[in-house]
Structure 1
Amino acid sequence: MHPSPSPSATPPAAPAFPPLYTPQPPPPLTRRLLTPVGTLAAVVAAFAYVGTVDPNEPGHYPVCPLLRFTGLYCPGCGGLRSAHAFAHGDLAAAFGSNALAVIGYGVFAAVMVLWLVRAIRGIPTRVTLSPVWWWGIGAVLTAFTLVRNLPFGAALAP
Structure 2
Amino acid sequence: MLRAPARGPRRALLPLAIGIGGLAVAVGVQLVFDPFRTHIPLCVLNHLTGLECPGCGAIRAVHSLLAGDMLLALRNNALITIAIPLVAAGLLTWSVRRARGLRTDLMPTKPVLLGLVVIAVLFAVLRNLPAFWFLAPISYVGG
For this structure pair, what is the TM-score category when the shorter chain's length is used for normalisation? 0.7 to 0.9
Query: Hey, what's the Cα distance between the residues in 2 that align with 1:33 and 1:68?
Result: 39
CA RMSD in angstroms comes to: 2.0
Match for residue 129 of structure 1? Answer: 108
Deviations 1:7-47 (Å, cap 9, x if unpaired)? xxxxxxxxxxxxxxxxx9x6222111111121122123213
Aligned mates of 1:124, 1:134 — CA distance in 2 = 20
More helix by percentage: 2
Contact 1:97-1:156 at 8 Å conserved across structures: yes
CA distance in 1, matches of 2:31, 2:122: 29
Structure 2, unaligned runs of 5 or more: 138-143
Aligned partners of 1:63, 1:32: CA distance in 2, in Å?
34
> In the alignment, which residue of structure 2 is the partner of 1:157?
136
Name the counterpart of 2:47: 68
In 1, are the aligned partners of 2:94 and 2:106 still within 8 Å (CA)? no
CA distance in 1, matches of 2:60, 2:33: 10
Q: Whole-Å Cα distance in 1 between the matches of residues 104 and 42 of structure 2?
A: 36
Is the alpha carbon distance of 1:120 and 1:138 closer, same or farther for their aligned partners in structure 2, counting shifts above 3 Å? same
1:49 pairs, out of 13, 16, 29, with 29
Does 2:121 match 1:142?
yes
- Following TM superposition, where does structure 1 have runs of at least 4 consecutive aligned residues deviating by more than 4 angstroms? none
Larger Rg: 1
Percent identical: 32
Answer whether contact 1:74 1:145 (CA < 8 A) is retained. Answer: yes
**Residue 101 (structure 1) shift:** 0.3
Aligned pairs (5 A) from 1:73-152: 73-152=52-131
Tell me the TM-score normalised to structure 2 length: 0.83
User: Counterparts of 2:98 and 2:28 in 1: how far apart (Å)?
Assistant: 25
Residues 1:32 and 2:20 aligned together: no
Amino acid at match of 1:56: F
Which structure 1 segments of 5+ residues have no match? 1-23
What is the count of residue pairs matched by the alignment?
134
Q: Secondary structure at the match of 2:102?
A: coil
